[in-house]
């Protein structure tokens, strides 16, 4: 049985949902060509600007967050938009569309004023781009010039700027890339919808300070003795981007391109279930290379096969009805912790978690085996969360 990974997003057919996000991965045609050869369905070329925009990058610009022995579970960058202006990017678009007519080539743009935005759109359309993404969302550097997340944090600015872009875009769909750094993302999403834009890309990086060199008192990445806030990406931000996608999907009826921490095929499934129709990847590809597309497409295919589903389309939004207001959650449901003493290794981390972070429901017997006092157990699931043994603690209905 073969499954269909293709999916339509903003009226464009993608051979699979996996798209390289606007990032260092997509800063020239040669890289994108290699990604296409590896199996990526689409790429959004790194954010470009009009020729007069001055882009001066600083180095080093990357700093990873390592957790225990895992490298780069999150990544901070203080990169800016591409140093390659529209004149070079329009060439890239032409070259890529000629060599890869079946692939989808998007381009990300940023401008300071109406004229910039509209020039970029017209030139990219003329070059044959498939869709345009507008960064209203870069959280570092660009906002200092009134660009990036400055726009995306203001519903009015968002709607007005998106309208300019839509005015100019006569042929291709426009997606607005939003920032998670707002109090009310659905409000911003509604502004995007009102503008007439075709889609939403969610989310850009999360403004962060990834760490400090504790010997020299300078945060990372250290640029000649100083640093700056940056944009946080990678697996660590997935829970935030997943929430954002679900919120947008519930607020507006627009196609969503999800991005922010998508690393494995499981992440992909989760974003589709929360309403995304397109999936953008950056940090995972920067870390492991374009080859991860094989894991993504294969894992997704096997999952669909297992579910007896014929294609990706079937997954979109299936989890949304199951996300409700907190006040609508059942107060009658009373789960209880069940510990499998056959597989328990007597590490007693469940005991510690229950004692100091729970309700003191777990006691130890003389053999150090944990037992749950069902009267005291409220079913919080902290014990099951920390247990290192595969499926040893399960939360079961009483």
Partner 1 sequence: MAARQTPDTLDMPVRLSTMEEVDRGLKPHQALAEAGRCIFCHDAPCVKGCPVGIDIPGFIRRISQRNMVGAARLIRQANPLGAVCARVCPSEAQCEKGCTSAGLSEPVAIACLQRYAMDQEMARGIRPVAAAEPTGRKVAVIGAGPAGLACSLALRSAGESVTVYDSSPQPGGVMRYGIPSYRLPREVLSREVDWILSAGVRFVPNTEIGRDVGMADLLREYDAVFIGAGLGAPAVPRIQGAGTAGVISAYAFLRAAGEPDGNAREQAMRAVIAQPLGRVVVLGGGNVAVDAACTALRLGAESVTIAYRRTRGEMPAWAEEIEFAEEEGVKLVFLLSPAEVLQADGKARGVRMTRMRLAEDDASGRPRPAPSGEPDETIGADTVVLAFGQAPNESILSSLPSLARSESGMIEIDVETGATSVAGVFAGGDAVNGGTTVVQAVSEGLRAAAGIRAYLDSVTPARD
The catalytic residues are: 138
359 close to 378: Cβ distance less than 8 angstroms: yes
Residues 6+ apart with CB under 8 A from 149: 136, 137, 138, 139, 142, 143, 179, 181, 204, 207
CB 382 within 8 Å of CB 357:
yes
In terms of phi and psi (left: phi > 0; alpha: psi -120 to 50; beta: otherwise), the region of 287 is alpha
Q: Is 157 exposed, middle or buried (CB count within 10 Å of its CB: 0-12, 13-18, 19+)?
A: middle
CA distances from 314 to 3, 66, 201, 241 (A): 11, 36, 21, 21
Report the nearest approach of partner 1 to the CB of residue 288 (Å). Answer: 6
- CB of 1 or CB of 214, closer to partner 1: 1
Nearest to 67 by CA among 228, 208, 207, 210: 210
Nearest CB to partner 1, comparing residues 171 and 288:
288
DSSP-based three-state secondary structure for 244: helix
Least distance from partner 1 to the Cβ atom of residue 339, Å: 16
Residue with tokens 């729970």: 358
Beta carbon of residue 178, minimum distance to partner 1 (angstroms, whole number): 28
Query: Would you give the distance in Å from CA 376 to the centre of its chain?
Result: 39
**Which lies closer to partner 1 via its Cβ, residue 158 or residue 301?**
301
Q: Which is nearer to partner 1, 126 or 341 (CB)?
A: 341
Task: Select from 56, 97, 49 the least CA-distant residue to 78.
Answer: 56
Cis peptide bond upstream of 221, omega within 30? yes
The whole-angstrom separation of Cα 204 and Cα 339 is 41
Task: Closer to partner 1 by CB, 55 or 344: give it.
Answer: 344
Residues in the site for partner 1, rule: CB under 8 A? 69-70, 264-266, 288-289, 291-292, 294-295, 298-299, 301-303, 306, 388-390
Please say which residue, 215 or 306, places its beta carbon nearer to partner 1. 306
Maximum Cα–Cα distance across the chain? 77
Phi-psi region of 273 (alpha: psi -120 to 50; beta: other; left: phi over 0): alpha
Instruction: Give the whole-angstrom CA distance, residue 318 versus residue 70.
Output: 32
Query: What is the DSSP code (8-state) at residue 186?
Result: H
62 vs 268 by CB, closer to partner 1? 268
**Strands 218-219 and 212-213, how do they pair?**
antiparallel
Question: 273: closest CA among 311, 239, 317?
Answer: 317
**CA–CA separation, 205 vs 268, rounded Å?**
18
Q: Select 69 or 332, whichever has its Cβ closest to partner 1.
A: 69
C-alpha to C-alpha distance for 26 and 34, rounded to whole angstroms: 10
């Amino acid at each position: 049985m073969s499954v269909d990974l293709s999916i339509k997003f903003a009226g464009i057919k993608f051979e699979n949902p996996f798209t390289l996000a606007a990032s260092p991965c997509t800063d020239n045609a040669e890289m994108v060509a290699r990604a296409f050869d590896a199996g990526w369905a689409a790429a959004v070329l790194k954010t470009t600007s009009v020729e007069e925009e001055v882009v001066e990058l600083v180095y080093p610009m990357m700093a990873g967050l390592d957790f225990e022995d895992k490298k780069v579970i999150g990544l901070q960058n203080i990169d800016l938009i591409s140093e390659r202006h529209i004149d070079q990017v329009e060439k890239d678009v032409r070259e890529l569309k000629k060599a890869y007519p079946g692939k989808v080539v998007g381009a990300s743009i940023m401008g300071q004023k109406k004229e910039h935005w509209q020039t970029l759109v017209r030139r990219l359309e003329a070059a044959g781009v498939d869709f345009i993404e507008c960064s209203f969302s870069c959280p570092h550097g660009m906002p200092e010039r009134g660009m990036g997340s400055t726009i995306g944090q203001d519903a009015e600015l968002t709607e007005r700027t998106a309208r300019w872009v839509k005015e100019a875009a006569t042929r291709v769909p426009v997606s607005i890339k939003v920032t998670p750094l707002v109090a009310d993302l659905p409000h911003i999403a509604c502004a995007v919808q009102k503008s007439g834009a075709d889609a939403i890309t969610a989310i850009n990086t999360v403004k962060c300070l990834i760490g400090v060199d504790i010997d020299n008192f300078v945060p990372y990445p250290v640029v000649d003795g100083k640093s700056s806030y940056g944009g946080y990406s990678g697996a660590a931000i997935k829970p935030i981007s997943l929430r954002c996608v679900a919120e947008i999907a519930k607020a507006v009826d627009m196609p969503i391109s999800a991005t922010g921490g998508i690393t494995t095929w499981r992440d992909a499934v989760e974003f589709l279930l929360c309403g995304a129709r397109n999936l953008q990847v950056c940090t995972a590809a920067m870390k492991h290379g374009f080859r991860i597309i094989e894991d993504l497409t294969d894992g997704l295919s096997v999952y669909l096969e297992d579910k007896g589903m014929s294609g990706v389309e079937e997954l979109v939004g299936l989890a949304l009805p199951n996300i409700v207001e907190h006040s609508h959650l059942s107060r009658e449901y009373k789960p209880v912790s069940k510990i499998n003493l056959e597989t328990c290794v007597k590490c007693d981390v469940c005991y510690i978690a229950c004692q100091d972070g729970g309700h003191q429901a777990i006691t130890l017997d003389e053999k150090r085996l944990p037992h749950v006092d069902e009267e005291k157990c409220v079913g919080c699931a902290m014990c099951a969360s920390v247990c290192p043994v595969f499926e040893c603690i399960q939360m079961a209905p009483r």
